Amino acid sequence: MEYKRIAVLASGRGSNLQSVIDGIESGYINNAKIMTVISDNREAFALERARAKGIEGLWLNPGDFASYEDYNNSIIEKLENLHIDLVVLAGYMKILSKGFVQTFQNRIINIHPSLIPSFCGVGYYGEKVHRAVLEYGVKITGATVHFVDEGADTGPIILQEAVKVYQDDTVGSLAKRVLEVEHRLLPEAVRLFCNEMLCIDGRRVYIKDGGAL
């Protein structure tokens, strides 16, 4: 069976990357292979996670390029040479260029630690999201996997799951529970994509029969 070729972009610890690796190794994602993991951060532990599994872990320093457009173009060239089917953003802290999004239209997915369209967009990432959730006083938050378009967290939503906010929550305790959900949702979204079970109709994403969620 022909497998889907995946590239993962990550800037930090790579725990969501690990969830996809685990999904592939367990057979839950049964027709995919991660071809490369690319980071803008030389110290990203995601690169070590990749290398430990025999996957290429590549650091590309944005400062080595004349412009951010050139930096994105270098990644595009790399991914096209690898014939990548799906780009997974797993804690990637850079905004993709318009050309990048257009090149891989409807083939880029991102995981975000809130229920989009709440607490998302420019400036909402990592602990900043959970801090904003607690400061606002909402009772429900969660995680979202979505296709990436030219906006910030504005692409069609693939999967979401709610997480209750408790009165005694801290940023750390809330982040931990949301991350557990992220680790379920991202591999599931990758599985659905690789099995060609996602249909996009405008802003709506439909899951064909056989989806687990």
User: How are the residues of the chain apportioned to helix, strand and coil, as percentages rounded to the nearest 5?
Assistant: 35, 25, 40
Residue type, 8: V
Name the β-bridge partners of 201.
204
Structure tokens at 88: 């997974």
113 prior amide bond cis, ω within 30: no
CA 127/CA 1 separation, integer angstroms = 40
CA 148/CA 113 separation, integer angstroms = 15
Query: CB within 8 A of 106, min separation 6: which ones?
Result: 147, 200
Structure tokens at 204: 């709506």
The catalytically annotated residue of 112, 130, 146, 183 is 112
Diameter of the chain by CA atoms? 50
Is 83 a residue of the active site? no
**E-assigned strands of 67-139?**
86-89, 108-112
CA 120/CA 103 separation, integer angstroms = 24
> Which residues carry out catalysis?
112
